[in-house]
Structure 1
Amino acid sequence: MKWLLTFILLIMLEGCQNPPNYVKLEGLAQGTSWHVTFWSKDSINNAEINREIDQQLAEIDLHMSTYRPDSVISRFNTMNSTMAVGDDILGLIQIAKDVTKKTDGCYDLTIKPLFDLWGFTNNQLTIPTESALQQTLTYVGLHHLTIANQTLSKDSPEVHLDLSSIGQGYSVGKVADVLKRYNIDNYLVEIGGEMVVHGTKLDGSAWKIAIEKPLPEQRAMQKVLLIDFPQAIMTSGTYRHYFDHQGQRYSHIIDARTGKPVTHNTVSVTVLASDPSWADAWSTALLCLGSQEGIAVANSNGIKALFIDDNKGVLKEIKADSYKKMKNIELN
């Protein structure tokens, strides 16, 4: 009889437990905001998770921020010698080298001198002379960097490294790793619009991810994606950061091959992949190429990419083959 009473008591206690609810955490980092939404059947110390996320993002900032003079990247940029930069930075450079090669050099992490030259760093357009442009291009290219014995070196002090086109994806992945350490299987992590999802919503349905309509004067949805499998969703666009000068638009996306802002009509590229760093790099790289050149690269590399072109205000979607193969991913 005692075991029966105990069994009944356990059932009653289980029935009294509160059902899981969404936990939402948020904060500021990397010049933008971050948001985390998750649910778990286990009891979770939310404040502890929040602290770990803040600590993780602060550590990434100390390694990769070009706005901090004491960051690892900033110290590397101001010196001309071999330096131990850490496995995280070296790993991202290796990913970038592969993407650079497959885009014929359009995408490159050493593009910062060109950003400075064109005035994007200080938000003041400065159209360079051809001689200044060609001189700056001599400092651009991942071939200037050498990785050996877990250290990084460069062949000229003018070579500057900038991880902003891949670092936010890396950050999203590291925040997701914090949740995994707490055995949280159902979550959505977002930093500055870059996302990674895992599991499902509380009711078992897919996470709904909005793709923004890439028009500068609007805040509207282009489409909604339904994601119920582990996936990073990274979007890069030209429609928020640009200069208009004498009837010409200068995008902040610079083609490292020419040293000039891109002039094609592609205004947004969304890439889906399991690796958020990889997806982040490719969304920028394919945006650099534009849909006409980029769709062939996406198809040959099996990249799930959605290009959006703006033809005088008319938006057109171009979908890579791997994107088309995903079933029931778009909310009709």
Structure 2
Amino acid sequence: MIKVAVLVSTLGLTTSLLAFNSNNQPKRYELSGYAQGTTYQIVYYAPDSLVSLRQTDSLLHKLDSSVSLYEPKSLINKFNQSADGIGVDEHFRVLVARSMQIYQDTQGLVDPTVKPLVDAWGFGVVKPSQEPTATQIKALLQKVGMKHLWLKGNRLLKDRPGLQLDLNGIAQGYSVDLLAALLEQHHISNYLVELGGELRIKGTKPGGEPFGIGIEGVNSDDLNPEPMRKVITPGNGAITTSGNYRKHHEAGGKQISHIINPLTGYPVQNELISVTVYAQDALTADGYDNGFMAMGLSKALSFLAGRKDIGAYMVYRDKNGAIRDTVTPAFKGYQK
């Protein structure tokens, strides 16, 4: 499920290999495939082809069997259909445990139990015929809240049968980290991994050239993407983006965001257009980006003011409707 739009701008992702005079020099390898309702690409430099498409597809398929809502027999679907919980695997456990931490950190603005509301507003697997009423939203809010969920060993338990999880807001970042870990297990130290716009980078191209990442802008009159607003070179770390301009629908003359505030039950509406987050790992970056969108500009900047481990580049509309941007100190690779 494509949640963001960060484009690899300076890599020239083709299937050709860089030519070198010595067999000991690193060559360029690319893998690409389809997973989680979107595409993924890996570029790495190594003396030989050390990681195959079969390996990456197998890894992502195993994750899908755990937490994909699009896999009917996945663990997450079994959990959602259960009355009080099920046994889960390590992938599921890690994602839920991290989500619980971020839920606390964002004071409930990042909450994967928001699934019933996501479905009701038309952003789930099954599309409703109309938007929810205020009465329906109030009822659905009774089924939302991480306080109704807890881990006990390898079991994930809930005290409300109607409570359901949607881990799409964090699973893609986790997938990128898993792919990066696979590369590093094979002693690959220069790579770029991208899945659904979420990225993880380590090292450089041969000769020390950094990986460049393009961040899309938007048209001033609507929410259609325009040519890249910035090209950054963040170095080692992860980049993810959350935004309203690629995943939304229109109702009553208004753009309805796919980001649902789990505290109110309604789609987020504020001045933020997109938030691009830098962190050391993609699980962290992806886990917070929706939360920053829900906070709005002022609260997000305040939250990030004292953080050295995570930074953000934000695109927003000012009071006059003009598109502006700002960046926090810990955002890597940004140049004015």
- TM-score where L is the length of structure 2: 0.87
Q: Residues 157-186 of structure 1: CA distance to partner in whole angstroms, max 9, x if unpaired?
A: 110011100000000010111111111100
Residues 1:310 and 2:317 aligned together: yes
Tell me how far 1:61 sits from its aligned partner. 0.6
User: Counterpart of 2:130?
Assistant: 126
Q: Which has the larger displacement, 152-161 or 310-319?
A: 310-319
Q: In structure 1, how many angstroms separate the alpha carbons of the residues matched to 2:161 and 2:179?
A: 33
**Of 256, 264, 269, which aligns to 1:263?**
269
Residues 1:206 and 2:210 aligned together: yes
Residues 1:57 and 2:75 aligned together: no
Question: Residue 86 of structure 2 aligns to which amino acid in structure 1?
Answer: M
Query: How does 1:31-180 map onto structure 2 within 5 Å?
Result: 31-40=37-46, 42-46=47-51, 49-121=52-124, 122-123=126-127, 126-180=130-184
Q: Share of identical aligned residues, percent?
A: 32
Residues 1:22 and 2:25 aligned together: no
Q: In structure 1, how many angstroms separate the alpha carbons of the residues matched to 2:275 and 2:131?
A: 26
Residues 125 and 243 of structure 1 are in contact (CA less than 8 Å); yes or no, is this contact kept in structure 2? no
Query: How does 1:180-329 map onto structure 2 within 5 Å?
Result: 180-215=184-219, 216-228=223-235, 230-302=236-308, 303-311=310-318, 314-323=322-331, 326=332, 329=333
Q: In structure 2, how many angstroms separate the alpha carbons of the residues matched to 1:221 and 1:16?
A: 37
Q: In structure 2, how many angstroms separate the alpha carbons of the residues matched to 1:246 and 1:163?
A: 29
Q: In structure 2, how many angstroms separate the alpha carbons of the residues matched to 1:17 and 1:86?
A: 42
Higher RCO structure, 1 or 2 (CA under 8 Å, sep 6+): 2
5+ residue gaps in structure 1? 1-13
Q: In structure 1, how many angstroms separate the alpha carbons of the residues matched to 2:194 and 2:306?
A: 29
Tell me how far 1:101 sits from its aligned partner. 1.6
Q: In structure 2, how many angstroms separate the alpha carbons of the residues matched to 1:111 and 1:23?
A: 39
Tell me how far 1:307 sits from its aligned partner. 1.3
Distance 1:120-1:21 versus aligned 2 partners, 3 A rule:
same
Residues 119 and 128 of structure 2 are in contact (CA less than 8 Å); yes or no, is this contact kept in structure 1? no
Residues 80 and 153 of structure 1 are in contact (CA less than 8 Å); yes or no, is this contact kept in structure 2? no
Q: Residues 293-325 of structure 1: CA distance to partner in whole angstroms, max 9, x if unpaired?
A: 2111122444311111034763211222323xx
Q: Which has the larger displacement, 231-240 or 283-292?
A: 283-292
Moved over 4 A (4+): none
- TM-score where L is the length of structure 1: 0.88
5+ residue gaps in structure 2? 1-19
Residues 267 and 310 of structure 1 are in contact (CA less than 8 Å); yes or no, is this contact kept in structure 2? yes
RMSD: 2.0
Distance 1:100-1:188 versus aligned 2 partners, 3 A rule:
same
Residues 168 and 191 of structure 1 are in contact (CA less than 8 Å); yes or no, is this contact kept in structure 2? yes
Tell me how far 1:244 sits from its aligned partner. 1.8
Q: In structure 2, how many angstroms separate the alpha carbons of the residues matched to 1:194 and 1:36?
A: 12
